[in-house]
Structure 1
Amino acid sequence: MRFPESWLREWVATELDTEALSERLTLLGLEVDSVEPVAPPFSGVVVGRIEAVEPHPEADKLRVCRVEDGSGETHQVVCGAPNAAVDLHAPFARVGAVLPDGTKIRAAELRGVESSGMLCSAVELGAGEAADGLWDLGDDAPVGADLRAHAELDASIFEIDLTPNRGDCLSLRGLARELAAATGESISAPSPEPVPAELEDRFPVTLSAPAACPRYAGRVIRGVDPQAASPRWLRRRLEQSGVRPIQPLVDITNLVMLELGQPMHAFDLAKLTGGIDVRMGRPDEDIDLLDERRVTVDGETLVIADERGPVALAGIMGGSRTAVSEDTVDVFLESACFLPHAMAGRARRYATHTDSSHRFERGVDPELAPVAIERATALIQSICGGRAGPVEDRVDREHLPQRPTIELRAERLRRLLGYAPEADEVGAMLERLGLTVEPTAAGWRAEVPSWRFDLAIEADLIEEVARLYGYNRAPRTHPRQAVRIAAQPETRRAVDSVRDGLVERGWHEAVTYSFVDAEIQGAIDPDTDALALANPLSSDMGVMRTSIWPGLLQTAVHNLNRQQERVRLFEIGKRFRPDSDGGLSQTDGVAGLAVGPWWPEQWSAPAREVDFFDVKGDIEALLAPVGHERFRFVAAAHPALHPGQSARIERDGLQVGWIGTLHPRLQEWFDLARAPVLFEIDLDPLLDQPLAAFRPVSKYPGIRRDLAIIVDEQVTSESVLASVREAAPAELRNAFVFDVYRGKGIDSGRKSLALGLILQGLSRTLTDSEVDDASNDVLAHLRSTHGATLRE
């Protein structure tokens, strides 16, 4: 909500300065988004009066004006504004003036005519969002007066961001109530006195939908002056509140809405037929709205109708058929209570949002309708004249919102807040908020005022006490017992280290739902019964996942369908699997998916698709901090993986995960042009790392021995290296396979592995005989364990 600071100070005469006022409102929960002047800085602009207007000799759309600026001289100004006229008081920027956009006014020649200065619109001075011409300052504006001082352009404008539950503060009256309650000041509010009826004229009103509109007040006013204009104070107040002045009757209803919080509407009485019926819309009913749109209402929309059909969307926007105009003489004023449940979402349904719908959706005081009628009537008569009839106030008490009575317990107040003000102070605070308070043995009994829709339970009153007492005044207390931080084992690394390790290797983290499609889940893990949800959000989120792969596969498909050819995704999350006791076991895991080129497109390396061993290399890097030698990749079959390109990941002989290429059946099912490589590992084994220990660095040279052995085709290099480590002496520093050969000279079903052994002593240089002995021991062990022979 936007309003000038001076307007709020008219309601509450607080001594707080602008900064303190902003802070106090924010601490009350009425967050101040900004405090800005009415217009941005400019200089050298005064009130000018046009003495004469002549057509420009060389341009039909330009005029030559003689402008008086209070200096005793007149200035010739070329102006293109359509409303430039004799005796118009408008802003005049003298030569040397600086406008908000930084433009410096200089004497110039426009189409052969000299121009000294500039006549300005409100938009050019930053004091308005739209303008049809020069800013009309009114005949009472003193010529030569500084414009900023005269138009109060240095006044502060507050912009407040209200939470949806505080619809009562969408008015100056509501804000004043809050500020007065916080400061203890009194409210100097305009109290509308009933305007006596001078006519007996009534316009009949029927409430056909009391559950949506339990109260509707209306009043006939005849003989208003159609030539009346909104006074300068009214236009200025609306402009400073972000509302564009239109016409006196409309401006008055807008002012009452800003002032009291009650949206209103003025109908041209001569255009209404029969009577007003507040009812739900009927099939195929159309209405032409004030914004020049025609909409078709439905049976869930509340409308204001006469005998000919809808004349307004209730609480949203009026219709053009019955709108007031410059010819309006007789008016029917409307002030109603439309309940929030009937208004919620209705404005969005018709692709609109108005100040009225914004307020009704959040709740408007049901007791305010007749008060607003009286206030608007008084303003209309003072500005436009006219004679008023009696107020027609239709009320269905059964459907009016009830004012709840809430019990507040002192013990509960102290327990929830951790502190409690004195009992008398609590009662006084609630009374300042408008509640009717009665002390009880346990605390207080409070009756909620009609304008507080957000107060319903005891906790709401406790929040009000804390808010009014001041969040910044809450006492600081220390815990009654020492905080103990649980010891973290040094052998446990953080989950973030796993995440960082994958990110450093070019993988991107994804977060997918734990609920997956039952069909996809069954295809990927057919041997496990997934837990079905009793009330799933949708059919494709019907079971709890037993693997992280379903979500990653769907995410990969989504990206591939959007021309993302290179996809590297991983996720750390929970799997939900049945346990042996018939319950549900939740285990953490890390899973990944890679598809597309292994390297981003570049000139220095040939393009190739990611394969099993690329992903295996990344996993080995992930396993390195926890001891890669404890893990093994064992060829095995998995229902979701390619039969010849999958492996079980084991740690100390126990299965901890899987890696492999997606099964061709699933590749076809997901309509993937390329088969992704997947992995999934239990998270715990990746976090259990060995304790760091010092290992001396040898200053003596290492010695390398290469062995070429022939083994059966099914013997894996991993098992060969494990046997090498078993037989080698403590001086072995590294063992690796650097070549595999099949072909000429090697029997069918056999292969040649070339092994590299690095040996290095800590206290001396190893001799050739010691290295030869170690090589022979390794070869003998390989011969006994794998039937290996030395290749000649």
Structure 2
Amino acid sequence: MKFSESWLRTLVNPTLSSEELSHLLTMAGLEVEDMAPVAPAFHSVVVAQVLEVVKHPDADRLNVCQVDIGDGSPKQIVCGAPNVAAGLKVPCALPGAELPGDFKIKIAKVRGIESSGMLCSAKELGIAEEASGLLILPVDAPVGQNIRTYLDLEDTVFEIKLTPNRADCLSLLGVAREVGAITGAATDLPVVVEVPASIADTRAVVLDAPAACPLYYGRVIKGVNAKAATPTWMVRRLERSGIRAISALVDITNYVMLELGQPLHAFDNTKLSGSVHARLAKADEKLLLLNEQAIDLAADVLTIADDSKVLAMAGIMGGEESGITLETSELFLESAFFAPKAIAGRARRYGFASDASHRFERGVDFGGTRRAIERATQLILEICGGQAGPVVEAKADLPARPPVRLRTARAEKVLGVPLGAERIAGLFKGLALAFTCEGDDFLVTPPSWRFDMEIEEDLIEEIARLVGYDNIPSLAPQARMAMLRQPEAQRPAYRIRQMMADRGYQEVVNFAFVEEAWEADFAAKTEEADLIRLANPIASQMAVMRSSLFGGLISNLVTNLKRKQTRVRLFEVGRTFHRDADATPVSGYRQPWKLGGLAFGGALPESWTSGGRKVDFYDVKGDLEALLAPAALRFEKVAHPALHPGRAARILLDGQEIGVVGELHPEWVQKYDLPNAPVLFELDFAVLKASTVPAYAEVSKFPPVIRDLAVVVDQSLALQALIDGLKQGLPGLVQDIQLFDVYVGKGVPENKKSLAFRIVMQDTQRTLLDSEVDAAMQQLVSCLEQAFGAQLRA
């Protein structure tokens, strides 16, 4: 948003310098991105009138001019400008003047003729980049007046960078309102009076899409002179706001948009047919815009149309066929409020932008829509003449403005400064906010020009801006220090991460949105109903939410292998995402935390003692058992889409499945070009955080008795089933049973295997007798024989 400081000071004029005003605006949230004078420094240039022009006797392209500079005695000046002529009023640099570029003017002879000054172009004054001749001034310019005063060159152009929520400051009215509230200076806002109708001509307005366009004003104005000159003051303000002057009617609509923040549009009334409709585009409709771009209108584009054709993209740009020209004598003036959601993104879709769409998609003051059409009518009649008809109004449900409660105590606590209800009331009055009081609470009704006031924190922010961030002290936070309770049955997340790091794993963090192919490969999710697809992915390869951590870990492994890392240990703690109709707090989606891990390469770091053995299922199984110790885990064979069919297991704790572990499926090893299969695991993180509370047990002072037991069983018998059977009939003396050998081969029958167990027996009160030990061993053998048909190995 660019604007002239002199224009702003006609509305509010605080006793601040330009630099002070710039700092104040920035600290109030209206960041001043640039501040520059409208003209470089120069002096001794006045308004002059050319009295006489004769050809230079010794130069074809030079003229000798007699010039009145307002001191009563004409000066002789040699001028080479092609447009110099008697009667013109132009800028004249007097002897002693210094122009931009360190150009000094003095009395000199030009081809033998004395010249007492220089007639200037806009380029020579530094107020234009190019000029084809002298700067011609209006006929009423006062001769002898300082040109800086006459052209208002003692002015500064501000450019403020607004956040999207402050659309109210996309106008001089909004900025003036802010400056008045911040500084306390009186505001002299534009007075707009209703222009009475002098003709009865109207055009009906129909709201076919009231949700997108709930308010529309239209007015017919006849007998206008479209060729009338735009006043110099208006041209100057427009140009200093970054808008090029085009014609009087267009300039007036742009001026009102800058002044009041309400975009307007003027149609040639003779080109319209029937009623004006605010409706959504129909199938196959096309429109030639004012920028000469032909577009195919999508079904969600709001349009302005008459009974036979589309006239404009509502709130964005008008159509070429219904636009006004210098021949227009009858126009239909539009001032409307369009819902931000109905305008947002439409212009960018077609590859262009406009000042109107920039404002409408952020929110325009619907309380000032009528005022804008009256202001534009007033200026049109003053500048272009004509007669205005009555204003036609079409109105539906406007945005609701529910009151927002502000607690004084809450505002003081958040900002850390004492305020008081009386001071807050004064600040709200400065912003023209309507409110009522309930004790020290305020019920504030947001005005029609503020779409960013919805919750209490929004009002606290307004108070902070007005008080001034510089005036809010930086105080060290004060709080009572208290030791937080740490339940012994709950392990903190950092401890689990530390335990993984202690086992040689490094933590990674991956995006939660992944490639669709990963979901198919590692989670077997190929149906659209299974995938959780993003509505607006940041990249095509990040289109769905992950239901497993495996994809990211495999991608990390591939990256490491490309960088010649041959031994990789990775883990990640993150959410996975699953559809679940009963899930809370996010309805329809369950988002459990998981711990995923990957091991690849050597079982141990390379050394002269490691032997080069590759990591396998049992290495990772041992890591998981250590991670959950002292809890006892069970591992049962499982089919998993990401894992090897015969080398994968589900992990159970107290009969509940908590995760899976296994080698990567050979198909994916080949697809992702891996030299061999990594071992992967995934666990419920919530289970990992639970911990058993230690219980005291007496340590025996008596020696243990250790016996070995070797039995021959069917090769198909799972070890876990055998261990479970032993524990069911376990004698009280037995403290531990560990498998230490598995043998298949010579001396063992076909389809059989030999399992050797180490049995540890001990008592806390006495030394065990041989007879007790023998009886316990016999009991174990009988259990194995009866339950599993085991035979003692000879």
- On whether the aligned pair clears a TM of 0.5, the verdict is yes
Q: 1:677 to 1:288 in 2, by over 3 A?
A: same
Deviation of 1:192 (Å) = 0.6
Residues 547 and 575, structure 1, Cα contact 8 Å, conserved in 2: no
Q: 1:147 to 1:418 in 2, by over 3 A?
A: same
Deviation of 1:131 (Å) = 7.0
Residues 13 and 185, structure 1, Cα contact 8 Å, conserved in 2: yes
Partner Cα distance (1:129, 1:544) in 2 = 62
Report what 2:348 is aligned to. Answer: 348
Deviation of 1:264 (Å) = 0.8
Report what 1:72 is aligned to. Answer: 74
Deviation of 1:277 (Å) = 1.5
* Pick aligned residue for 2:572 from 548, 571, 575: 575
Deviation of 1:371 (Å) = 0.6
Correspondences of 1:290-305 after superposition (within 5 Å) = 290-305=290-305
Q: Secondary structure at the match of 2:10?
A: helix
Report what 1:545 is aligned to. Answer: 549
Correspondences of 1:621-636 after superposition (within 5 Å) = 633-636=610-613
Q: 1:544 to 1:107 in 2, by over 3 A?
A: farther
Residues 226 and 327, structure 1, Cα contact 8 Å, conserved in 2: yes
Deviation of 1:122 (Å) = 4.4
Q: 1:419 to 1:128 in 2, by over 3 A?
A: same
Are residue 457 (structure 1) and residue 455 (structure 2) matched?
yes
Q: 1:570 to 1:34 in 2, by over 3 A?
A: farther
Residues 49 and 88, structure 1, Cα contact 8 Å, conserved in 2: yes
Deviation of 1:520 (Å) = 5.8
AA partner of residue 358 (structure 2) = H
Report what 1:406 is aligned to. Answer: 404
Report what 2:754 is aligned to. Answer: none
Report what 1:637 is aligned to. Answer: 614
Q: Secondary structure at the match of 2:157?
A: strand
Deviation of 1:101 (Å) = 6.0
Report what 2:151 is aligned to. Answer: 151
Partner Cα distance (2:473, 2:373) in 1 = 46
Report what 2:280 is aligned to. Answer: 280
AA partner of residue 36 (structure 2) = E
AA partner of residue 434 (structure 2) = T
Residues 64 and 76, structure 2, Cα contact 8 Å, conserved in 1: no
Q: 1:291 to 1:407 in 2, by over 3 A?
A: same
Q: Secondary structure at the match of 1:221?
A: strand
Partner Cα distance (1:568, 1:41) in 2 = 65
Q: 1:254 to 1:636 in 2, by over 3 A?
A: same
Correspondences of 1:555-570 after superposition (within 5 Å) = none
Partner Cα distance (1:426, 1:577) in 2 = 45
For each residue in 1:83-116, what CA deviation from the matched residue of structure 2 results, as whole angstroms up to 9, or x when unmatched? 77664545567899776567789999999x9999
Q: 1:332 to 1:116 in 2, by over 3 A?
A: farther
Q: Secondary structure at the match of 1:359?
A: helix
Q: 1:53 to 1:533 in 2, by over 3 A?
A: farther
Correspondences of 1:55-70 after superposition (within 5 Å) = 68=67, 70=69
For each residue in 1:244-287, what CA deviation from the matched residue of structure 2 results, as whole angstroms up to 9, or x when unmatched? 11111111111111111111112222222223211111222222
Report what 2:393 is aligned to. Answer: 393
Partner Cα distance (2:568, 2:401) in 1 = 52
* Pick aligned residue for 1:424 from 418, 422, 425: 422
Deviation of 1:363 (Å) = 0.6
Deviation of 1:134 (Å) = 5.6
For each residue in 1:471-507, what CA deviation from the matched residue of structure 2 results, as whole angstroms up to 9, or x when unmatched? 2222443433588999xxxxx9xx9xx9xxxxxxxxx
Report what 1:466 is aligned to. Answer: 464
Partner Cα distance (2:508, 2:148) in 1 = 56
Partner Cα distance (2:613, 2:461) in 1 = 62
Report what 1:489 is aligned to. Answer: none
Report what 1:440 is aligned to. Answer: 438
For each residue in 1:208-267, what CA deviation from the matched residue of structure 2 results, as whole angstroms up to 9, or x when unmatched? 111111111111222222442011111111112111111111111111111111111122
Report what 2:642 is aligned to. Answer: none
Report what 2:323 is aligned to. Answer: 323
Partner Cα distance (1:339, 1:130) in 2 = 42
Deviation of 1:637 (Å) = 2.9
Aligned length: 596
Are residue 17 (structure 1) and residue 17 (structure 2) matched?
yes
Are residue 220 (structure 1) and residue 217 (structure 2) matched?
no
Q: 1:269 to 1:17 in 2, by over 3 A?
A: same
Partner Cα distance (1:179, 1:169) in 2 = 11
AA partner of residue 32 (structure 2) = V
Partner Cα distance (1:52, 1:552) in 2 = 85
Correspondences of 1:134-533 after superposition (within 5 Å) = 135-143=135-143, 145-396=145-396, 399-441=397-439, 443-481=441-479, 513=511, 516-517=514-515
Residues 417 and 466, structure 1, Cα contact 8 Å, conserved in 2: yes
Partner Cα distance (1:667, 1:95) in 2 = 88
Q: 1:544 to 1:387 in 2, by over 3 A?
A: same
Deviation of 1:350 (Å) = 2.0
Q: Secondary structure at the match of 1:362?
A: coil
Residues 513 and 543, structure 2, Cα contact 8 Å, conserved in 1: no
AA partner of residue 432 (structure 2) = G
Partner Cα distance (2:665, 2:596) in 1 = 25
Residues 218 and 333, structure 2, Cα contact 8 Å, conserved in 1: yes
Q: Secondary structure at the match of 2:367?
A: coil
Deviation of 1:521 (Å) = 9.2
AA partner of residue 431 (structure 2) = L
Q: Secondary structure at the match of 2:361?
A: helix
Q: 1:340 to 1:192 in 2, by over 3 A?
A: same
AA partner of residue 75 (structure 2) = E
Report what 1:780 is aligned to. Answer: none
Further displaced range: 258-267 or 547-556 = 547-556
AA partner of residue 229 (structure 2) = A
Q: Secondary structure at the match of 1:368?
A: helix
Partner Cα distance (1:574, 1:115) in 2 = 86
Residues 45 and 94, structure 1, Cα contact 8 Å, conserved in 2: yes
Partner Cα distance (1:632, 1:100) in 2 = 82
For each residue in 1:639-691, what CA deviation from the matched residue of structure 2 results, as whole angstroms up to 9, or x when unmatched? 89xxxxxx99x99xx99xxxxxx99987964579xx899999xxxxxxxxxxx
Deviation of 1:519 (Å) = 6.2
Q: 1:341 to 1:86 in 2, by over 3 A?
A: farther
Residues 89 and 138, structure 1, Cα contact 8 Å, conserved in 2: yes
Q: 1:584 to 1:325 in 2, by over 3 A?
A: closer
Deviation of 1:67 (Å) = 8.0
Report what 1:3 is aligned to. Answer: 3
Further displaced range: 12-21 or 98-107 = 98-107
Structure 2 gap segments, 5+ residues each: 485-494, 502-506, 525-529, 576-591, 628-663, 681-794
Report what 1:756 is aligned to. Answer: none
Deviation of 1:38 (Å) = 0.8
Q: 1:277 to 1:522 in 2, by over 3 A?
A: closer
Residues 62 and 78, structure 2, Cα contact 8 Å, conserved in 1: no
Correspondences of 1:644-659 after superposition (within 5 Å) = none
Deviation of 1:428 (Å) = 2.2
Partner Cα distance (2:23, 2:386) in 1 = 44
Q: 1:198 to 1:93 in 2, by over 3 A?
A: same
Partner Cα distance (1:577, 1:349) in 2 = 36
AA partner of residue 549 (structure 2) = R
Identity %: 43
Q: 1:519 to 1:400 in 2, by over 3 A?
A: closer
Partner Cα distance (2:613, 2:522) in 1 = 16
AA partner of residue 38 (structure 1) = V
Residues 510 and 570, structure 1, Cα contact 8 Å, conserved in 2: no
AA partner of residue 424 (structure 1) = E
Partner Cα distance (1:516, 1:97) in 2 = 69
AA partner of residue 242 (structure 1) = G
Partner Cα distance (1:535, 1:103) in 2 = 67
Residues 518 and 551, structure 2, Cα contact 8 Å, conserved in 1: no
